[in-house]
Structure formats: structure tokens, C-alpha cells
Amino acid sequence: MTAPDVTLTASAAKRINAILAKQDGVDYLRVSVEGGGCSGFSYKFDFDTAAKEDDLVIERDNAKVLIDEMSMEFLKGSEIDFTTELIGAAFKINNPNATAACGCGTSFSI
């Protein structure tokens, strides 16, 4: 199943491909939302070898991201980006559903 409501930037796709090229047998980056974090919810990034039945798959430039159905409810309309700043490089989710986010950028509230 594809998830057009969530997009990947070219920068994110390039970084995902670079990371997965160094991981044996891993084909996907998994993005999920969990309870917790300083703002109520937090983003989690993992690697996975296969999609599960309820996963949504987002692809760009051969980079593949998995999002489970529950997390998709929180991520609709989001853009997954990879940024390089003075404080470091990281995946960043631009989430229009988030009403507040913490300074570290990994947790949010709705």
C-alpha cells in the first residue's frame, strides 16, 4: 500500500539510500510515532527487512520508508526531510498536525 499523504524530500531519500547501502539485508527505514517525549509523542526511526501487512510504503528515488497504520494517523500530510545544521545532521519531520514541538525536534503534541 502506498501513502501519498506523507512525502520524502530528495535529501531524505539520498540519506536513506546511503544508510541502507551499509546495512546488510535491510531494505526499509521505519518511521513510527510513540507515546512519550517531552511534548507527548515522539518519532522513532528504525530499520526493517520487510513490510508488514498494515504498513504503508513511501518511496522516492529507490528509498523506501515504512509507516504503520496507527502512526500514519499522526503523520498525515507530513514531509520527512534530512537536514544538516551546525548542531548536527538528522531526519526531521515537518508535521502540519503538530501543535507544539520540543527544541530537539523529536517529540511533538497534537
The CATH number of whichever domain residue 77 belongs to comes to 2.60.300.12
Domain residues for the domain of 100 are 7-104
Is residue 86, in this structure, part of any structural domain at all? Answer: yes
Please tell me the distance from the alpha carbon of residue 81 to that of residue 90, in angstroms, as a whole number: 8
Is residue 92, in this structure, part of any structural domain at all? Answer: yes
Q: Which of 25-34, 62-71, 97-106 has the lowest mean pLDDT?
A: 97-106
Count of Cβ atoms closer than 10 Å to residue 29 Cβ: 26
Is residue 87, in this structure, part of any structural domain at all? Answer: yes
> Residue written as cell 520540543?
102
How many residues are recorded in the chain?
A: 110
Is residue 2, in this structure, part of any structural domain at all? Answer: no
Count of Cβ atoms closer than 10 Å to residue 72 Cβ: 20
Band of pLDDT at residue 1, cut at 50, 70 and 90: very low
Is residue 21, in this structure, part of any structural domain at all? Answer: yes
What domain count does the chain have? 1
Is residue 109, in this structure, part of any structural domain at all? Answer: no
Q: What are the φ/ψ torsions at residue 61 (nearest 5 degrees)?
A: 50, 45
Helix (H) or strand (E) segment spanning residue 101: strand 100-101
Q: What is the pLDDT of residue 92?
A: 87
The grid coordinates listed for 96 are 502540519
Is residue 60, in this structure, part of any structural domain at all? Answer: yes
